[in-house]
A and B are shown apart, each in its own frame.
Chain A
Amino acid sequence: MLALTIPAIGRPVDDTLLPLPSPAEAMASCQRRLIEESLTARYTDWVAEALDDIQSCFLITDPGIAGHPIVFASRGFLAMSGYSMQEVLGRNGRIFQGPATNRQSVMEIREAIREERTLQVSLLNYRKDGTPHWILFHICPVFGADDGRVAHFVAVQVPIQRRSRCSRSSAEAMLGGTRGRLIGGCREEVRSDDLGCNPTVELFVDVDNRGLEAEESREASKQERELALDAANSILSTLTHYSKLTGRVVSGKRCIEAGFSAINSSLVMPLGRIKESFILTDPHLPNMPIVYASDEFLNLTGYSRHEILGQDCGFLNGPDTDVEVLDQVRQSIQAEHACTVRLLNYRKDRSSFWNLLHISPVRNASGKIAFYVSVQMEENAKNSSGLCLSAGMRQLGVVGAVKVAVRSLCISAGPSKPSS
């Protein structure tokens, strides 16, 4: 698909660019090539130069490559963070988080990425030397016009200037104790899963916590917010411009024809909490396409999100899937009833598994069916939740949690209208 001779983007890069310690050399070099070609394949070789002309601090990441790696870092970003290009390419953005990074903000970013939407959030990041600094993190997706999928994410970072303590609201001051506990809780988590191998960060824990007591969080000013938005827009227009040269056009907005209406954003948080394999399908669209899929569903089936959103569930079936059972499911849906079946399903790699499937209609605040939820339990699979509950209980627990979330008035009903 791509010419292998295309040079890496950014500054001249040699073969030692990416520190990939994996023993699987072949995989590593494949991954490296994907990262190198991520921008050039869509925006030509010249895009790097154009991006370098933009003065802001920003990163570009590719969600289509395993690990969602950084594929470009601006000069401004490298200067601010103290890292070199070689040290950040191919890495995940979480390497800049540290012990006092607010877990909640990190979760918000993850949700935004998962839901492919723009987000601005204050974040405490760490430089290479371990010193923390407050930034306004502005992330936005770049959609391919041809397929409506996210080609890249642009992450702009604007340093937040320190302001006097007086500006903090009294409510914030009151909750200071709470925030302190939260950070205490995060530190261990972050340290163990993301930064266990970084001794510099450990050294700075006490130092930066002293600073943090005086300043639990920094809010970005209106000016800083606008700065971030402007930067994101100029990066987007650069990318759009160069994408036209390859014919693989991108845009900051998802094309309506290519995509489909995803679920309401107020559903994202409550659904994201549910750590089981499930999908939501929309019965009001032709073929009942999938409008939401949990991470666990993707893990179970091996598909990535953009491959299945907007598709009907047929791809799970295969040659030995029982047609009668499928028919039973269809009848239940037609009758607007819940049903539980045992069905042979297939993963992306065509390996099969027995799926203990429960499907139930889910009603919104108006009392109308908004979705069907399908909860998949792989038969005899290890219980990953860590809770000693039967598969049936976990399954119905998902249905209950989804039903509660979808009943929210934020989703369907606006201001009251006298019903006809």
Chain B
Amino acid sequence: MTMAPVEPVEGEFTFLKQNMRSEQSKSHQVPPQCIITNVYQLGIPTKTDGVLGNLPCSEAGSPSLLDIILLSQWEDHAWKGQLRFDVTACQKKVVTGGRKFIAQLNENWKPSILMDLEKQTIQSLRPTKLSDVKHQRENVLVCVSFGERECPELVSSTMLPKDGILIIANAHPIEYGHAFLVPYDVHQMPWLLDKKVLGLMMQITAEVANCSFRVFFDYDASISLDQKCFQASYFADPLPVELLPTIPVYGNLLTSGVYISEVADYALKTLIFVSKNLKALVEVVGEMCSYLHDNGTAFSLLISDCGTKVFMFPQVRAILGYQLSTLECGGYFVYDTKSDFDHINEADILKLLASVSLDVPNFETLKQQCCVAASKLVL
């Protein structure tokens, strides 16, 4: 009888973790060769009229490299107990009513946690403090950087690339795979609403190529941008807003490259930008972000459908001074007490959404701006 030795499977991530631990115990000046990070190098988009080139752009085939990396790294973190709780043990339900809003009970979750974590995470990534990133490295799932090849690839690097996007597990997740996407540059603090950053976020969503994967971003005019970052998570179900009918606002995919529509009959006025052309989509959405920023309007962005669709939720300051998160705008609400979770009803949610919505004249103006931005687009 052969005795099978009992041993866990050793993956790269185990190795990575060990290195991180050893790194932590050392002084500030760590020899770079001791640090090993998974670096995902993006492929160079091929020149096909700016269309997403060789990006998957749909989830027709088997899971993509980046999809597997994110899922496996997050699962590894969860398994090793590096997250505060098992988010898959949180109950979810569909709120009674026609809108099919989603409610989640997450007793470990506090609304302010997110903001505090964002602050910590981002501030540690300021150029001057990049060396302090190390205490965050524990939670780095992967660093997305620019590659030199046509196809994306995963390399284990001893050094962080000089610029890129750190994908950091959120230890207080809202759903499976919840992570922060933090753009950094050793030379300068990246401007988050920069079209380059926006383009990278869309490219990441496209390369993950999983319809469950969504990237989101909350912009609050009153908080300085260097405390904000993009987030991403996997949601098996579409957010309720994604299922609603739409009304065309501008263009169509055949002639104009970008199709803009508004969500019909939703308490929170919402715009949708759709394109297979990443460059065009970034151009128009980026333009609109700048416009809202210049006007001091808060907004949230939701990137879905493998990077081909962006929802924009402009918000006015509600009486309570409360801004909704992207997920809330999309109809997904997290409650930290059982009684709130049990007693939530559609009418209250609709009231909440309506309280931050732009009024009709302002939304009309915004739509006109969209048309202007889209018509300026040179394909």
Instruction: Please list the residues of chain A having a beta carbon within 8 angstroms of any beta carbon in chain B.
Output: 103-104, 107, 174-178, 181, 270, 273-275, 319-322, 324-325, 328, 338, 340-344, 354, 356, 358, 360, 362-363, 365-367, 377, 385, 387-397, 399-401, 403-410, 413-419
Contact = CB atoms under 8 A, between A and B. Distances in A.
Interface stretch (B2-10, B262-270, B315-323): B2-10
Interface stretch (B64-72, B115-123, B349-357): B64-72
A367 B70 CA distance: 22
A415 B96 contact: yes
Interface stretch (B73-81, B179-187, B218-226, B360-368): B73-81
B92 A324 contact: no
Contacts of B237: 408-410
A324 B7 CA distance: 12
19 contacts: A270-B212, A322-B1, A325-B4, A342-B9, A360-B79, A389-B69, A391-B11, A392-B10, A392-B13, A397-B75, A399-B71, A400-B70, A407-B92, A407-B236, A408-B237, A409-B94, A409-B236, A409-B237, A413-B93
Nearest to B7: A342
B153 interface: yes
Given A325-B6, A338-B79, A367-B89, A394 B94 contact: no
A399 B75 contact: yes
Q: What is the size category of the interface that chain B forms with chain A? A: 35 or more
A397 B3 contact: no
Contacts of A344: 2, 4
Contacts of B3: 322
Contacts of A409: 92-94, 102, 236-237
B51 to A, nearest CB: 9
Contacts of A389: 65, 68-69, 72, 154
A258 B148 CA distance: 57
Contacts of A390: 11-12
A216 to B, nearest CB: 12
B176 interface: yes
Nearest to A357: B9
Which 8 pairs between the two chains have the least Cβ-Cβ distance?
A: A392-B11, A400-B71, A408-B236, A397-B68, A396-B72, A397-B72, A322-B4, A363-B88
Given A274-B63, A344-B4, A416-B93, A367 B88 contact: yes
Interface stretch (B198-206, B251-259, B282-290, B292-300): B251-259
B9 A377 contact: yes
B29 interface: no
B156 to A, nearest CB: 10
A58 B71 CA distance: 43
A403 B68 contact: no
Contacts of B12: 390, 392-393
Given A174-B259, A178-B253, A396 B91 contact: no
B242 interface: no
Interface in B80-133: 86, 88-96, 102-103
Contact of A387 (B1, B11, B65, B86): B65
A178 B60 CA distance: 13
Given A342-B5, A388-B153, A416-B103, 8 more contacts: A343-B4, A366-B93, A392-B12, A393-B11, A394-B72, A400-B71, A404-B236, A415-B94
A275 B237 CA distance: 22
B212 to A, nearest CB: 5
A322 to B, nearest CB: 4
Interface string B1-44: 11111111111111000000000000000000000000000000
A419 B342 contact: yes
Contacts of B71: 396-397, 399-401, 404
B259 A328 contact: no
B234 interface: yes
A90 B71 CA distance: 42
Given A393-B72, A400-B75, A409-B102, A367 B65 contact: no
A410 to B, nearest CB: 7
Nearest to A393: B72
A393 B89 contact: no
Contacts of B5: 342
Contacts of B228: none
Given A176-B254, A389-B154, A397-B72, A404 B63 contact: no
B75 A175 contact: no
Interface of B: 1-14, 59-63, 65, 67-76, 79, 86, 88-96, 102-103, 153-154, 175-177, 210, 212, 234, 236-237, 252-254, 259, 276, 342
Contacts of A408: 236-237
A162 B237 CA distance: 36
A340 B76 CA distance: 12
Contacts of B60: 103-104, 107
Nearest to A405: B236
Nearest to B57: A181
Contacts of A419: 91, 93, 342
A343 B5 CA distance: 9
A343 B7 CA distance: 10
A102 B125 CA distance: 47
A174 B254 contact: yes
B69 A393 contact: yes
A273 B212 CA distance: 13
B63 A397 contact: yes
Given A405-B236, A407-B176, A413-B92, A342 B79 contact: no
Nearest to A386: B62
A251 to B, nearest CB: 33
A341 B7 CA distance: 6
A407 B102 CA distance: 12
B11 A174 contact: no
Given A273-B63, A387-B68, A407-B236, A400 B177 contact: yes
Contact of B74 (A365, A385, A400): A400
B236 to A, nearest CB: 4
Contacts of B212: 270, 404-405
A419 B342 CA distance: 7
Nearest to B74: A400
A174 B252 contact: yes
Nearest to A366: B91
A104 to B, nearest CB: 7
A152 to B, nearest CB: 29
A386 to B, nearest CB: 9
A338 B8 CA distance: 11
Contacts of A363: 86, 88-89
A367 B91 contact: yes
B6 A320 contact: no
Contact of A404 (B69, B95, B177, B342): B177
Contacts of A385: 62
Contacts of A387: 65, 68
Contact of B88 (A175, A320, A354, A403): A403
Contacts of A414: 94
A399 B76 CA distance: 10
A416 B95 contact: yes
A396 B175 contact: no
A343 B9 CA distance: 11
Contacts of B79: 338, 360, 396
